Structure 1
Amino acid sequence: MRLDKFVANNSSFSRSQVRTLIKARRLAVNGTTPSSPATKLTETDQVTLDGSVLQAQSAVYLMLNKPLGYVCANQDSEHPTVIDLVTSQQLMAPNLVSDLQIVGRLDIDTTGLVLLTTDGHWNHRVSSPNSVCGKRYRVECAEPISDTDLATLEAGILLRNESRKTRPANIQRLSPTSAEITIYEGMYHQVKRMFAATGNKVIALHRLAIGAINLDKSLEEGSARMLSDSEIHGFN
């Protein structure tokens, strides 16, 4: 991490003020005045400000119950974002909000569980294709879901413009037109496209779980909370 970003994340000073701090010899890295705000830090480097050690703030891990109409983006000129929801609840230091990464994005018309973190390594563990992390959804379709459709979706189905079938899915019918489905990959609009390939149409989609993390039933739509230690370490 760059020195100026580290200082901004862990003090009241902005990145643009770090150069002034260096010139005033108020900042030191391992006891030596750095030459540039762009100085690269390692995990073992010690940064001091006015002689006091700057401690790195702990990484942030959140779950959000995403409502309709919000986009999974850090910024958007046309729609409100999931970051707007997190910011409004003041769950974390304001200077860390810009470092939030969205783990497993949802479409604007899809609701439910979204994970966010400032820990890039954790994000990779959860979202990497090699993790084979199950994502469970509740689906409402326009037409009844037949036994043949269930068997086809469970076995894997070839989607339009794809060269291979989807991985086998777990699916349970809840009513003639609704089901819970768990998929183990992240193709573009995958659940909607899977049902479209059977001749059906998804009219409502809600994510219930990512891996072992279930959407907290007490979490109101639009609300977020910190993940517990067991939820965080479930992906280690």
Structure 2
Amino acid sequence: MRLDKFVCKSTSLTRSDAIQCIQHGKVSVNGETVKDERSQVHENNSVTLNGTALTPRPFRYILMHKPAGTICSNVDEAYPSLFNGTRIEHTEELHIAGRLDADTTGLVLITDDGHWSFNITTPTKHCEKVYRVGLSRPIRDDAAALFHAGILLQGESKPTLPAELYIVTPKEVILTITEGKFHQVKRMFSAIGNRVTSLHRERIGEVLLDVEEGKWRYLSENEVASFKAA
């Protein structure tokens, strides 16, 4: 973890205040003054601010039901941040493990533990993401076979990893993927001549969406551990 992030996570200081403290020689790591805020520190390091030992707050693991018309960002942009009205503290420390588009709803996982979120977002971990997809026209008969074989998206050099498609109705399907390319789900259906009209994420790994739209909760220990095991 960067030293400035460590200081922020251990105090109520903003990042700019933490950087000032570091650059003015007020922070020591293992007894040595460190003035570079980019320096890396680890859990077993002894870090002090003005001689007082710092202990970072525990990592947080949050499940949220993202509403439509919000963005997976810590701050408002063209659309409001999904953190608006949540009363989650220190949102500047958090990041979303697998973002959703503004018009997409459903499950997002939020954390300040970068090692943990890596297991969710990197394709080599094969973490399943399950979407309920509404379509503009009836799905092709060969769509499941095409998705399982992999779809070569426009602008990509390699096809998508095998995906599983379950047909609910001719215009509603359940899609399971294990990667997260830019606008991947929408681009996959576009590649086979269809258009996504609604998109909702229901599951990530073993974690199911179980809260109402706009609500959130902390993950259980077992839910957190399921991604570490993966």
Name the TM-score class by shorter chain.
0.7 to 0.9
Aligned to 1:56: 56
- Which of 132, 138, 143 in structure 1 is aligned with 2:132? 138
1:5-20 correspondence to structure 2 within 5 Å: 5-14=5-14, 16=17
If the length of structure 2 is used for normalisation, what is the TM-score?
Answer: 0.84
CA contact (8 A) 1:156 1:167 kept: yes
Instruction: Report the identity percentage.
Output: 42
- Which of 77, 84, 87 in structure 2 is aligned with 1:90? 87
Aligned to 1:38: 37
CA contact (8 A) 1:19 1:37 kept: no
CA contact (8 A) 1:141 1:201 kept: yes
CA contact (8 A) 1:101 1:116 kept: yes
Gap regions ≥5 residues in structure 2: none
**Letter matched to residue 58 of structure 1:** P
Shift of 1:145: 1.5
- Which of 221, 224, 228 in structure 2 is aligned with 1:229? 221
Aligned to 1:152: 146
**Letter matched to residue 194 of structure 2:** N
Aligned to 2:207: 213
Secondary structure, counterpart of 1:6 in structure 2:
helix
Q: In 1, distance between residues paired with 2:200 and 2:18?
A: 44
CA contact (8 A) 1:7 1:14 kept: no
Aligned to 1:168: 162
Q: Residues 143-182 of structure 1: CA distance to partner in whole angstroms, max 9, x if unpaired?
A: 1123222332233233223333322211111112101010
Q: Residues 27-53 of structure 1: CA distance to partner in whole angstroms, max 9, x if unpaired?
A: 6654x4735373843322223467654
Q: Residues 123-161 of structure 1: CA distance to partner in whole angstroms, max 9, x if unpaired?
A: 112111211211110011111123222332233233223
CA contact (8 A) 2:25 2:35 kept: no
Q: In 2, distance between residues paired with 1:80 and 1:200?
A: 29
144-153 or 222-231, which deviates more: 144-153
Secondary structure, counterpart of 2:152 in structure 1:
coil
1:120-135 correspondence to structure 2 within 5 Å: 120-135=114-129
Q: In 2, distance between residues paired with 1:221 and 1:118?
A: 22
Q: In 2, distance between residues paired with 1:104 and 1:214?
A: 15
CA contact (8 A) 1:169 1:182 kept: yes
Q: In 2, distance between residues paired with 1:22 and 1:191?
A: 45
**Letter matched to residue 234 of structure 1:** S
Aligned to 1:187: 181
How many residues align structurally?
226
Aligned to 1:78: 78
* Structure 1 pair 53–160 and aligned structure 2 pair: CA distance change class (3 A): closer
Q: In 1, distance between residues paired with 2:98 and 2:22?
A: 39
Gap regions ≥5 residues in structure 1: none
CA contact (8 A) 2:4 2:22 kept: no
125-134 or 112-121, which deviates more: 125-134
Secondary structure, counterpart of 1:182 in structure 2:
strand
Rg larger in structure: 1
Shift of 1:24: 10
Shift of 1:19: 5.6
If the length of structure 1 is used for normalisation, what is the TM-score?
Answer: 0.82
